[in-house]
């Protein structure tokens, strides 16, 4: 079992005094369309589906909030390399929190929190159909004092997640895309 990354990110957030780093990743996903990707984002709310995305995904639970602006908070449990398993609270945020001009036409914002309510990071995601598949750009805004090996583990994990989409999403979408699990 690895180190829980939540205390490490919590400590980094405190020591960073509000300073952050942007970890930018760009991917092209052959065989994936905007429609598939959006379906995935709206329906990937159960462990069975979450585990398809990456072998280091362990579980996925959803907490309904009753707040129309943030109707649910997701609690994914996963490993990032030697870190984890760790469980964060992830919630969607209004697109007004998107801090820079989007490169692609579709975009969104999510935030990650520790169980004690400490904001750990933001994730900005943008995407659109391209000639060779979905163009996906994600920016993870993490505390500036995050250890480099944890940043490297995030990059590796996210790259593996992106590379896994073409391996399972087209078939899953063809089978379940007309249904919703939300």
Q: Please say if the pLDDT value at position 146 is more than 60.
A: yes
The per-residue pLDDT of the chain, averaged, comes to 92
Q: Top-level CATH class of 5-176?
A: alpha beta
Per residue in 22-33, pLDDT tens?
999 999 999 999
For residue 38, the model assigns a pLDDT of 94
> Counting beta carbons within 10 angstroms of the beta carbon of residue 116, is it exposed (0 to 12), middle (13 to 18) or buried (19 or more)?
exposed
Task: Determine the Cα–Cα distance for residues 116 and 83; give it in Å rounded to an integer.
Answer: 19
pLDDT level of residue 147 (50, 70, 90 thresholds)? very high
Under DSSP, is residue 91 helix (H, G, I), strand (E, B) or coil? strand
pLDDT level of residue 94 (50, 70, 90 thresholds)? confident
Per residue in 102-121, pLDDT tens?
899 999 889 999 888 888 99
For residue 1, the model assigns a pLDDT of 66
For residue 96, the model assigns a pLDDT of 81
Task: Determine the Cα–Cα distance for residues 158 and 25; give it in Å rounded to an integer.
Answer: 8
List all residues 6 or more positions away from 17 whose beta carbon is below 8 Å from its beta carbon.
none
Between 55 and 2, the more confident residue is 55
pLDDT level of residue 61 (50, 70, 90 thresholds)? very high
CA dihedral (78, 83, 89, 93) positive or negative: negative
Whether the bond between 74 and the residue before it is cis, its omega within 30 degrees of 0, is no
């Amino acid at each position: 079992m690895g180190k829980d990354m939540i205390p490490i990110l919590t400590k980094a957030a405190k020591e960073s005094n509000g300073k952050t780093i942007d970890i930018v990743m760009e991917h092209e996903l052959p065989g994936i369309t905007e429609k598939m990707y959006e379906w995935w984002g709206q329906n990937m709310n159960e462990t069975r589906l979450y585990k398809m995305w990456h072998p280091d995904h362990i579980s996925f639970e959803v907490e309904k909030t009753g707040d129309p602006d943030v109707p649910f908070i997701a609690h994914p449990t996963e490993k990032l390399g030697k870190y984890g398993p760790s469980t964060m609270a992830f919630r969607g945020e209004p697109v007004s929190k998107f801090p820079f001009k989007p490169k692609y036409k579709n975009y969104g914002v999510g935030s990650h929190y520790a169980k004690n309510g400490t904001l750990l990071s933001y994730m900005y995601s943008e995407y659109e159909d391209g000639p060779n598949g979905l163009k996906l750009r994600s920016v993870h805004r993490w505390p500036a004092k995050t250890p480099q090996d944890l940043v490297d583990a995030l990059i590796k994990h996210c790259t593996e997640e992106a590379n896994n989409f073409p391996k399972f999403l087209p078939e899953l979408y063809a089978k379940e895309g007309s249904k919703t699990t939300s």
